[in-house]
Amino acid sequence: MAIADLVKSTLGPKGMDKILQSVGRGHGVTVTNDGATILRSIYVDNPAAKVLVDISRVQDEEVGDGTTSVVVLAGELLREAEKLVREKGEREREREREEE
């Protein structure tokens, strides 16, 4: 998941900062390594990506910390779920070919 990968590089003591440039009036520039700030600043159209942004928002509201970690964890879970769905589809296609 691209959203998880976007904020993953900000984790830890050697986490990298991101430069965010506003496209609105004023064209402000923000430098941050805060996952919640990054995710609040981007436009997301993909439904799965929106879920990750919502997870970050809820984590920030309820706990106030751990937004990046929860997004990275959820992103990895989604990545593994995608693999399982793909594998199941392949097995079903093989089964259909065997039945023919």
Q: Which residues share a beta bridge with 29?
A: 21
Question: What local confidence, expressed as pLDDT, does residue 16 receive?
Answer: 92
**Tokens 């920030």 identify what position?**
60
Residue 16: what residue type? M
Please give the share of the chain, as a percent, with pLDDT higher than 90. Answer: 59
Query: Rounded to the nearest 5°, which phi and psi values hold at 21?
Result: -115, 125
Average pLDDT, the chain: 90
Q: What is the pTM of this model?
A: 0.79
CATH 1.10.10.10 fits 2-99, yes or no: no
In the chain, domain spans = 2-99
Residue with the bigger pLDDT between 67 and 22: it is 67
Does 82 score more than 80 pLDDT? yes
pLDDT tens per residue across span 3-42:
999 999 999 889 999 999 887 777 788 899 999 899 988 8
